[in-house]
């Protein structure tokens, strides 16, 4: 259980970093920086993949916990 909590904490830290970087690139796009779009799209894909992984980890941890306790 401790390992899964650590993995989620690490993943969430990475998600926060990606989210902050994405916000910065959106701001650059609003200021007319054409190159920021490509990086914002890359960050969006990485955020999406990480969100799916975090959600899956939480779901599998929950189901493992429930099945173990019943």
Of residues 34 and 57, more confidently modeled: 34
Q: What is the pLDDT of residue 34?
A: 87
Tens-place pLDDT, residues 20-56: 999 999 999 999 998 999 999 999 999 999 989 888 8
In total, how many domains does the chain have? 1
Taking the C-alpha atoms of residue 47 and residue 28, their distance in angstroms, rounded to an integer, is 18
Give the predicted TM-score (pTM) of the model.
Answer: 0.67
Of residues 36 and 57, more confidently modeled: 36
Q: What is the pLDDT of residue 67?
A: 44
> Residue 68: which region, alpha, beta or left (left: phi > 0; alpha: psi -120 to 50)?
alpha
Residue 21 · residue 44 · CB < 8 Å: no
Domain that holds residue 40: 2-69
Burial 3-42 (b: 16+ CB within 10 A, else e): eeeeebeebeeebeebeebbeebeebeeeeeeebeebbee
């Amino acid at each position: 259980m401790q390992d899964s909590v650590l993995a989620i904490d690490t993943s969430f830290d990475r998600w926060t970093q990606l989210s902050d970087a994405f916000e910065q690139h959106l701001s650059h796009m609003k200021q007319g920086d054409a190159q920021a779009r490509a990086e914002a799209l890359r960050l969006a894909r990485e955020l999406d993949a990480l969100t799916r992984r975090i959600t899956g980890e939480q779901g599998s941890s929950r189901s493992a916990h429930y099945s173990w306790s019943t």
